[in-house]
Amino acid sequence: MSTLKIKKGDTVKVIAGKDNGKEGKVLAVDLKNGKVLVEGVNIVSKHTKPSAANQNGGIVQKEAYIDASNVMYVHKGKATRIGFKIEKDKKVRFAKSTGDVID
């Protein structure tokens, strides 16, 4: 897949799925599969065996990846689309709703 418009550390809002409306920080991005890991979103239960790291084992709650198409970047408290433009010989992201450069 080509470049994703969402990066690690961005604040995003979920626009589809069981966690619709929730906001969180992006913890990781999987470019190959086009998925993102968002803090506090898409919580799944994982059954683990006892091991050296986890003595008791049991059921562990953790975040799972969500498709990047189901999240939108949050800029100034509102969800917005992201575009790319060239500024001073550098490719930058900008918020389409306001035109502000993000990075």
Per-residue pLDDT of the chain in tens (103 residues, 90 and over written 9)? 467 899 999 999 999 999 999 999 999 999 999 999 999 999 999 999 999 988 898 999 999 999 999 999 999 999 999 999 999 999 999 999 999 999 7
At 14 the pLDDT is: 96
At 4 the pLDDT is: 86
Strand extents, DSSP E, 39-89: 43-48, 58-63, 66-67, 71-75, 78-80, 82-87
Contact 12, 38 (CB under 8 A): yes
Question: The whole model's pTM is what?
Answer: 0.84
